[in-house]
């Protein structure tokens, strides 16, 4: 075992920033998420809206990547991407996915599982039109997840589409939003001695059941 491997195995951290109690948490997981995300923003956590998206392909092998949540409400959590990307193809074949937020500075994790559906064309258009021009052109320029010969392909594509569309590029038909409709939530708060707090919310009829899980 290398010196680095030995030092990694010995890494320890004591989690002592906060606690998560049933009586002090929201009965609705969306409200709990809203509170925690707000606290992450207020604490100036780097990219508090960044989340890991896990999908499973037809070969039953999972894959993950980082995406940004761009909206959330009672219907679910929304992110935008290329529909022809690997995640888009996997979601087309298997619409079940999971999200995870990890706010290291606050010693908190939120995990969300659910079913993914495409947002409406109107929602995708509205968000696309709100993006900076270079990001809108980038949606046309990048054949996401495909093999390319080099960065020059992207630069050339961006120049071509920039010249074609000027200041008003339309939303590409292969680009738009997804909404994950939650079926389960889990909130994790680091605690001392590895006795972490874990609150799990599961659907029960039209409401949510809140349960504590052992760490």
**194 among known catalytic residues:** yes
Sign, CA dihedral 194-214-75-28, equals: negative
User: How crowded is residue 101: how many other Cβ atoms within 10 Å of its Cβ?
Assistant: 22
Give the CA distances from residue 62 to residues 65, 100, 116, 168, in Å, rounded to whole numbers and listed in that order: 11, 14, 16, 37
Euclidean distance between CA atoms 173 and 82, whole angstroms? 9
Q: Is 71 exposed, middle or buried (0-12, 13-18, 19+ CB in 10 A)?
A: middle
Compute φ and ψ for 3, nearest 5 degrees.
-60, -40
User: How crowded is residue 137: how many other Cβ atoms within 10 Å of its Cβ?
Assistant: 22
What single DSSP character describes residue 61? -
- The single residue of 12, 194, 202, 212 carrying the catalytic annotation is 194
What does the block give as tokens for 204?
């029960």
Q: Name the residues annotated as catalytic.
A: 194
């Amino acid at each position: 075992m290398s010196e680095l491997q030995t030092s990694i195995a010995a890494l320890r951290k004591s989690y002592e920033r906060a606690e998560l109690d049933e009586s002090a948490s929201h009965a609705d997981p969306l409200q709990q998420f809203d509170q925690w995300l707000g606290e992450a923003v207020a604490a100036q956590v780097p990219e508090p809206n960044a989340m890991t998206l896990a999908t499973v392909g037809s070969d039953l092998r999972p894959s993950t990547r980082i995406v940004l949540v761009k909206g959330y409400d009672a219907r679910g959590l929304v992110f935008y991407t290329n529909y022809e990307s690997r995640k888009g193809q996997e979601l087309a074949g298997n619409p079940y996915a999971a999200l995870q937020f990890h706010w290291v500075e606050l010693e908190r994790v939120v995990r969300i599982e659910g079913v993914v559906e495409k947002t409406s064309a109107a929602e995708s258009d509205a968000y696309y039109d709100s993006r900076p021009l270079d990001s809108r052109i980038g949606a046309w320029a990048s054949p996401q997840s495909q093999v390319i010969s080099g960065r020059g392909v992207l630069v050339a594509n961006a120049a071509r589409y920039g010249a074609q569309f000027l200041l008003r590029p339309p939303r590409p038909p292969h680009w738009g939003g997804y909404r994950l409709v939650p079926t389960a939530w889990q909130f994790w708060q680091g605690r001392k001695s590895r006795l972490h707090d874990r609150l799990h919310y599961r659907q029960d009829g039209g409401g949510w059941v809140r349960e504590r899980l052992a760490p």
